[in-house]
Amino acid sequence: MSARDDILAFAHIGDLHLTVADGDNARDFLAIADQIGEAEGLDFVFLPGDNADNGTPAQYALVRQGLDRLRLPVHVITGDHDMEGGGLDAFHDGLGVPRLPYAVDVSGIRCLFLDICGPGSGGPDFRLGAEQRAWLEAELRAGEREGLDCALFMHSYPADLKGAGEAEAVGRLVFSSRVRLVEMGHTHYNELANDGRTIYAATRSTGQVEEGPVGYAIVAVDRGVVAWRFKELSRPWPFVMVTAPADRRLAHDDAHVVEGSVEIRAVVFGPARIAACEFSIDGSPWRAMGRAEGDRRFGARVDWPAGARRLTVRVTDAEGGTDEDVVEPAAELGARPTSKGIGSDADAVGAWPEKGLVGTQLGPNRNGRHW
């Protein structure tokens, strides 16, 4: 377990679909790896499957080149394209990553990494299988006993599972547990969904970009609050993300409602020293945020004004670079949503341009809208 603090923060590089060394996605992957390497404060990097477009050894060699440039721990899971060769031997031989499933505790959060493309015999599979499903249930029960929040890493929404009864069973299992976040690829577009208990987050493909510019997501779980923001590769540092209070679209607990004395927290990434971190509520004068020794977060405590709606955090680094992030905190009890379809995109929050959510849902998958 990480002893750094009580926030999990990681980078999610969307489905690579690597084919050849001179492809745009191969170059973008290396550039993303190098950029992530410039910033301190992340726990790990996550690759959500569909790493090699055809699952060949040559394509995994390209994936390995990018992984070798990352200084952080990397967690790589499987996707349906990784099974195109009829099995996962090339995946494991080429990448040398741990066998799935496995669990790692990071910053007080149990991170569970799943293979939903291995139990079958090749091609699109989308099944957990009885053994892995039992493992998942046992890990979630153990997390409950130990009082640990959990984050689940899988290639797609649970609703996409094709094993007999798996879609509903896994969706219900997640909904009834302490899973705060389900982190996914597969969609090819950025999407966030909130079923009132758990946040589902999918990040835009790197190799088959259906919407907007290439980039990657920065994700955090801060004392049960989920924060998510997409960083375009071309956007310079610094990069700030408000981690508390929760935005109303991602609030999933009545404790996320702002009232009275409220703690504001934010994480900042970039290679240069941060000269200032400040906050403003509904356009009020900027006020300074500080950072305690050993804490990745800047913070401040404020009496939340009645009727206030918008919190902005602004950072400036020593080289003059600036960035802002905005949230709209939940202002009333009972504001969290009621699920329209547990474990699926039925609870998608829609477009949210400030976070990098276009809301187009353009993609070739079950949930995608075609052109």
Domain boundary among 291, 310, 327: 327
Residues 177, 258, single domain; the answer is: no
pLDDT-derived band at 117 (thresholds 50, 70, 90) equals confident
Total domains present in the chain: 2
Calculate Rg over the CA atoms of the chain.
20
Is the per-residue pLDDT at 15 higher than 60? yes
Residues 179, 302, single domain; the answer is: no
Asked if residue 368 belongs to a domain, the reply is no
- Mean pLDDT, the chain, integer: 93
CA–CA dist 360, 193 (Å, integer): 14
Residues 203, 260, single domain; the answer is: no
pLDDT-derived band at 337 (thresholds 50, 70, 90) equals confident
pLDDT-derived band at 1 (thresholds 50, 70, 90) equals very low
Asked if residue 221 belongs to a domain, the reply is yes
Q: Please provide the DSSP assignment of 8-41 as one string.
A: EEEEE-----B--TTSHHHHHHHHHHHHHHH---
- Provide the b/e sequence for 14-24 (b: ≥16 CB within 10 Å): bbbbbbeeebe
Asked if residue 56 belongs to a domain, the reply is yes
Residues 219, 263, single domain; the answer is: no
β-strands 191-194, 199-202: how paired?
Answer: antiparallel
Mean pLDDT score, 209-227? 94
Is the per-residue pLDDT at 134 higher than 50? yes
CA–CA dist 275, 243 (Å, integer): 20
Is the per-residue pLDDT at 3 higher than 50? no
Asked if residue 207 belongs to a domain, the reply is yes
Q: Is-contact 50 207, C-beta < 8 A?
A: yes
Q: Reduce the DSSP state of residue 200 to 3 states and report it.
A: strand
CA–CA dist 200, 188 (Å, integer): 14
For the chain, how are helix, strand and coil distributed in percent, rounded to 5? Answer: 20, 30, 50
Residues 231, 258, single domain; the answer is: no
Q: Is-contact 101 132, C-beta < 8 A?
A: yes
In 3D space, the residue among 193, 203, 200 whose CA is nearest the CA of residue 229 turns out to be 203
Q: Which domain holds residue 101?
A: 7-235
CA–CA dist 134, 299 (Å, integer): 40
Give the rounded percent of residues in the chain with a pLDDT score beyond 70: 94
Mean pLDDT score, 117-128? 76
Instruction: Give ∠ CA 333-335-340 in degrees, rounded to 5.
Output: 140
Residues 69, 149, single domain; the answer is: yes
Asked if residue 361 belongs to a domain, the reply is no
CA–CA dist 50, 81 (Å, integer): 5
Token reading at 102: 């496995």
Residues 34, 89, single domain; the answer is: yes
Q: Quick one: pLDDT at residue 367? A: 65
Asked if residue 279 belongs to a domain, the reply is yes
The CA distances from residue 297 to 30, 249, 263, in Å, are: 28, 22, 11
Q: What is the pLDDT of residues 81-99, one digit of tens each?
A: 999 888 899 999 999 999 9
Token reading at 345: 């995109």
CATH number at residue 304: 2.60.40.650
Residues 220, 322, single domain; the answer is: no
Residues 171, 24, single domain; the answer is: yes
CA–CA dist 79, 154 (Å, integer): 9
What's the pTM value of the predicted model, to 2 decimals? 0.95
- The answer to whether the bond into 238 is cis (omega within 30° of 0) is yes
CA–CA dist 226, 242 (Å, integer): 10
Q: Quick one: pLDDT at residue 333? A: 67
Residues 154, 283, single domain; the answer is: no
Residues 42, 105, single domain; the answer is: yes
Asked if residue 246 belongs to a domain, the reply is no
Is the per-residue pLDDT at 368 higher than 80? no
Residues 153, 302, single domain; the answer is: no
Domain boundary among 203, 235, 267: 235
CATH number at residue 210: 3.60.21.10
In 3D space, the residue among 172, 182, 178 whose CA is nearest the CA of residue 152 turns out to be 182
Q: Quick one: pLDDT at residue 2? A: 43
Q: How many CB atoms lie within 10 A of CB 323?
A: 20
Neighbouring residues of 306: CB distance < 8 A, sequence distance ≥ 6: none
Asked if residue 258 belongs to a domain, the reply is yes
